[in-house]
A and B are shown apart, each in its own frame.
Chain A
Amino acid sequence: NAGVTQTPKFQVLKTGQSMTLQCAQDMNHEYMSWYRQDPGMGLRLIHYSVGAGITDQGEVPNGYNVSRSTTEDFPLRLLSAAPSQTSVYFCASSRQGHEQFFGPGTRLTVL
């Protein structure tokens, strides 16, 4: 199993550009989440999904959209990138009531 995969590993955007961060898991997990981690800080929950077709907002959802059309994929869309969205983004998946498995992260810089 590949576990949780994220692409790209690195990305540089200009203010106002849009992009999609990809996340996929091959463990048939119902739950998937997106977090952001700013330097020296803990992870903050952006959006999460408890199954295909179901998404909900986390702690810091503004400026981000998600969809969950399949169990495997949970893309995160930045609608109009801002410098404040410069961060490392982690995707995670889990079975209900069990530990989360995290991807390797995407390092995003917005100029």
Chain B
Amino acid sequence: DSGVTQTPKHLITATGQRVTLRCSPRSGDLSVYWYQQSLDQGLQFLIQYYNGEERAKGNILERFSAQQFPDLHSELNLSSLELGDSALYFCASSVEARGTYGYTFGSGTRLTVV
């Protein structure tokens, strides 16, 4: 157990639907990162939050949004889902904003859009 908790582990939904992925960071970590892992594209950075505020944005689609709550858990919202959104979504946390002491990853949410 890495200390980063992601729920649900698996999610199957239909095209056009909306889903919410949840992440609880490791105790003491203030920064949360979201990554998408597709079969042929490795780990793609989506977005980072630090202590409730957005700090960095990567290749996140406009249909996707995220937030970090006062208790530091984070949610990634995916809407108008398409088949191509099927992927593993990982959350990672780090103690400070810049991540220079490495990240701790959760076990991921596998999203299947049918």
A and B interact physically: no
**Residues of B in contact with A (beta carbons under 8 Å apart):** none
**Residues of A in contact with B (beta carbons under 8 Å apart):** none
